Amino acid sequence: MFILKGILRAESQEKVLIYLLLRETGYAKSIAEYYGAPTNPIQKQLVRLEEDGVIVSRTIGKVRQYELNPRYPFIKPLIELLKMAAAIYPLEVTSGLMVQRTRSRKSGKPLLNMR
């Protein structure tokens, strides 16, 4: 789905912004895996958005983690626009983004796919 076509440059850019809005942080591979998209376009959009000042990143170990830039001058209108776009997305897409596993799983416990 490309809801913000005409406003944003690419569908992958919209996916990155929606992901970061709902999950607050993320890295290229996790975003690409969630949407079932190739990593390369996601990485390009992350670099472009960071150069434009829309998102910021930090390195944690070997992973570069991204989040929306709270100092971006138009962050409030952007968040409102993204919230309106997320409301139009199918429920299975947005509900999957709302669930975030932060604890490790017990050894031997089967992985249940929530998507």
Would you say residue 1 lies in a domain?
Answer: no
Would you say residue 53 lies in a domain?
Answer: yes
Domain count, the chain: 1
Residue-wise DSSP of 3-72: TTBTTBS-HHHHHHHHHHHHHS-B-HHHHHHHHT--HHHHHHHHHHHHHTTSEEEEEETTEEEEEE-TT-
Tell me the per-residue pLDDT of 28-73, one tens digit each, with 9 for 90 and over: 999 999 889 999 999 999 999 999 999 999 999 899 999 999 999 9
Per-residue confidence (pLDDT) for residue 108, from 0 to 100: 76
Q: How far apart are CA 111 and CA 99, in angstroms?
A: 14
Q: Collapsing DSSP states into helix, strand and coil, what is residue 86?
A: helix
Range of the domain at 75: 11-85
Share the mean pLDDT of the chain. Answer: 85
pTM: 0.79
